[in-house]
Amino acid sequence: MVKIAFYTITGQTQQFIDKTGLDAHRIEDANPQYQMNDKYILILPSYQDFMMDSVVDFLTYKDNKKIF
C-alpha cells in the first residue's frame, strides 16, 4: 500500500489525509528529520511560491529525496 508524507499549517491537509485512510506521516516543524523507508507520495499545501523549511529538511534527510 502507498505511504504518504504531508505538511500542513492550517490543518486542511490533515483533514484531507484523514479521509484517505492511508498510512501517513506528518512532517513536523519541530522534528522534520524522519526517514521514509518505502516509496511515498508527498502532499503539500500551496501557501506561497516557496517550500517550507521543514519540508526541505525532510526531503534532504537520508534517502527521502530518492524514493518519493
Identify the pLDDT of residue 49.
67
Q: Among 43, 30, 31, 40, which Cα is nearest to 63's?
A: 40
Under DSSP, is residue 6 helix (H, G, I), strand (E, B) or coil?
A: strand
d(CA 30, CA 37): 21
Per-residue pLDDT reduced to its tens digit, 26-36: 999 999 999 99
Contact 7, 26 (CB under 8 A): yes
Reply yes or no on whether the pLDDT at 50 is more than 80.
Answer: no
Reply yes or no on whether the pLDDT at 55 is more than 70.
Answer: yes
The pTM of this model reads: 0.85
Domain ranges of the chain: 1-29+39-45
Reply yes or no on whether the pLDDT at 48 is more than 80.
Answer: no
